[in-house]
Amino acid sequence: MITAVREPAVAGYFYPRSPEALSREISGYTAQAGEKLSALACVVPHAGYMYSGHVAGAVYGRLQLPRRFVILCPNHTGYGRPLAVMTEGAWQTPLGLAQIDHALASSLRLACPLLEEDHMAHRGEHAIEVQLPFLQVALSDFTFVPIAIGTAKYEPLQALGEAMAGVLRDQSDKVMLISSSDMNHYEPDDVTRVKDRKAIDQILALDPRGLYDVVMQESISMCGFGPTVAALTAARLLGAKSAEVIKYATSADISGDRSAVVGYAGVVIR
């Protein structure tokens, strides 16, 4: 039984409100040629679809998608707890309801005491919401666990990653980790590309501590570094051996304005 429905916060703004237009746009982004990849985790952007949908779609279009997901995002709003999860209910999008995986979310809460039940952190947050239509177009049915991360400390990120690995290892069916993150923000295109490369290199090296350190030391404004550190930590413990950049772009590739851009990376971790 659905006990609570989280209403969409950015429909008609970040992506089309019309179900037909939304499905059509996503299908255009995900119509990628190439062998389908099995993955433990991925990193995908969360800007308005006009800017980053083609990068996110390139990733989703290449993946063999399971039916269960943990989707981690940064907390842009500042509301709620540092590690915030919803363990029951569903999220509404123009394409219908996406059901929260109550059993998996409850197991994660038990495994990671730092993870707290908190609807407020998710109410106006866009970074998970924009991922759901991609999954709804690809899959007839799936469940997910939403986790918003509002801490910049390494230790809680590591603890969450270790807990996720322990819980996912015990699941009878596959669960994919999705880290929702944009890359460097609002610097010139050439600066952003250099900074993003430094962060991406650490993801490709499967090095969560290296990613954390380079983001801090190089002042890389990668909003979802926390989710990505946690996802990398879990993926390594689950046996990840490699990572691959599926697509990279900046907002300048769409807008033409290279004076202040946002970077977008689509990465698959296997």
Q: Is 164 within 8 Å of 238 (Cβ atoms)?
A: no
Q: Give the model's pLDDT for residue 34.
A: 81
DSSP designation for 251: T
Q: Give the model's pLDDT for residue 254.
A: 97
* Torsion sign (Cα): 145, 137, 12, 20: negative
Q: How far apart are CA 192 and CA 260, in angstroms?
A: 9
Per-residue CA distances from 65 to 49, 143, 260 (Å): 20, 12, 34
Instruction: Extract the tokens encoding 261.
Output: 């851009």
The rounded percent of the chain whose pLDDT value lies above 90 is 97
Residues of the chain with pLDDT under 50: 1-2
Q: How far apart are CA 263 and CA 268, in angstroms?
A: 17
Q: Is 247 within 8 Å of 263 (Cβ atoms)?
A: no
Residue with tokens 């650490």: 202
Strand 243-250 vs strand 83-85: parallel, antiparallel, or unpaired? unpaired
Q: Give the model's pLDDT for residue 89.
A: 97
Q: Give the model's pLDDT for residue 32.
A: 76
Instruction: Extract the tokens encoding 97.
Output: 């309801």
Closest CA to 4 of 118, 171, 125: 118
Q: Give the model's pLDDT for residue 3.
A: 66
